Amino acid sequence: MYTQSFNVPDGAGQQPAVKPVLRTEPPELMAKFDACIDADGRIEPQDWMPEAYRKTLVRQISQHAHSEIVGMLPEGNWISRAPSLKRKAILIAKVQDEGGHGLYLYSAAETLGTSRDQMLDALHTGKAKYSSIFNYPTLNWADVGVIGWLVDGAAIMNQIPLCRCSYGPYARAMVRVCKEESFHQRQGYEALLVMMQGTQAQKDMVQDAVNRYWWKCLAMFGPPDADSPNSVQGMRWGIKRISSDDLRQKFVDATVPQAKVLGVTLPDPDLKWNEERGHHDYGQIDWDEFWATVNGNGPMNKERLATRVKAYNDGAWVREAALAHAHKQQQRTLKEAA
């Protein structure tokens, strides 16, 4: 459904003007790195890279990993209340997939020299960010479908270009993540199609969920390009391939016809086709609300974090047992080899 987003919009091949990074790095190594980026090559863990590139990747990949892990919570709440065995099985598989995505991404970030303990500590102490979208409640079953259709739809739009990210381990992790996200998006849309053929109460439930999630999904792509401190450098380094505003526009354009087939109204009176631009115009996103949520004051921030911390603490015995088992096995192997 979203494979078209591999395409780069007109003019996106031209690198935007970048403020030069403060270069205290060895010039020959820097020149080799720049040449690799300019040739659209891949940087691998053993390659030299400037510290700022490493730091940006750890920031983005760990934030992405945390989003996957926290993203398990709003849907996980509905596993015991799914309306049929089929929906329950699908939802369990989806939530497990998100856990797997988090693990690939933590592993990719570990190749940059940051340990999983460091990343989890940053999440648990509120220093690390995760996607704003997971700080809103899931009030009814239609929310689960809408998360699949719109939240995963927005995530795929953002993530397909990351399959071509300049850092090898991140790009490779994203290939599998995107295949699975594509299934997630379709299952959400299909669940909503079924509800839209049901009773008026079911149709109202879907519309209500769309009303609550639409604007939050547009904000997922991050602040407008003009207010985005990281975008330009991220694009210069081939981490980000398409700007946040261009991705948001692609998402709106792809979603409008899907909403029509579904029979729901997207809650934006300013949403209309602009013949001249060849895109849909849309209304103003509430950035004050976005920043309040990103900064820890959304409706569910405290609960989400508390749930994660509790799950981590409750799982301590599993980690300890696994380590003790690995140690025992290692001792046995050493003894046998002696």
Please identify, using beta-carbon distances, which residue of 33 and 237 lies nearer to ligand BYC: 237
Interface residue with ligand BYC among 5, 62, 67, 185 (CB under 6 A) is: 67
* 203 binds ligand BYC per the rule CB under 6 A: no
> 130 and 66 in contact (C-beta within 8 Å)?
yes
Widest pairwise Cα distance in the chain: 77
What CA–CA distances, in Å, run from 181 to 54, 200, 213?
A: 26, 30, 18
Please identify, using beta-carbon distances, which residue of 103 and 333 lies nearer to ligand BYC: 103
> 168 and 44 in contact (C-beta within 8 Å)?
yes
User: Segment 167-196, which members bind ligand BYC (CB under 6 A)?
Assistant: none
Interface residue with ligand BYC among 33, 98, 180, 301 (CB under 6 A) is: 98
DSSP reduced 3-state for 204: helix
Q: What is the DSSP letter of 16?
A: P
Question: Which residue is listed with tokens 């089929």?
Answer: 86
What CA–CA distances, in Å, run from 76 to 70, 91, 95, 99, 307?
A: 10, 8, 7, 11, 12
Helix ranges restricted to H, 111-167: 116-124, 141-146, 152-159
> 251 and 154 in contact (C-beta within 8 Å)?
yes
| Rounded distance between C-alpha atoms, residue 192 and residue 230, angstroms | 36
DSSP reduced 3-state for 280: strand
Q: What is the DSSP letter of 84?
A: S
Interface residue with ligand BYC among 160, 171, 178, 220 (CB under 6 A) is: 220
Interface residue with ligand BYC among 9, 25, 52, 59 (CB under 6 A) is: 59
Interface residue with ligand BYC among 54, 129, 172, 203 (CB under 6 A) is: 129
Stretch of 126-134, 263-271, 276-284, 301-309 contacting ligand BYC, by CB under 6 A:
126-134
Quote the tokens at residue 134. 């997971």
| Rounded distance between C-alpha atoms, residue 200 and residue 329, angstroms | 60
Q: How far is the CB of 58 from ligand BYC (least distance, A)?
A: 10
* 63 binds ligand BYC per the rule CB under 6 A: yes
- Tell me the one-letter amino acid at 154: A
* 255 binds ligand BYC per the rule CB under 6 A: no
Which residue, judged by CB position, is nearest to ligand BYC in the bound state?
71
User: Segment 288-307, which members bind ligand BYC (CB under 6 A)?
Assistant: 294
Q: How far is the CB of 155 from ligand BYC (least distance, A)?
A: 4
Burial class (CB in 10 A: 0-12, 13-18, 19+), 98: buried
Q: How far is the CB of 131 from ligand BYC (least distance, A)?
A: 4
Interface residue with ligand BYC among 50, 169, 188, 223 (CB under 6 A) is: 223
Q: How far is the CB of 197 from ligand BYC (least distance, A)?
A: 25
Please identify, using beta-carbon distances, which residue of 92 and 203 lies nearer to ligand BYC: 92
Q: How far is the CB of 310 from ligand BYC (least distance, A)?
A: 19
* 60 binds ligand BYC per the rule CB under 6 A: yes
Residues at the interface with ligand BYC (CB under 6 A) = 59-60, 63-64, 67-68, 71, 98, 129, 131-132, 151-152, 155, 158-159, 220-223, 228-231, 234, 240, 244, 294
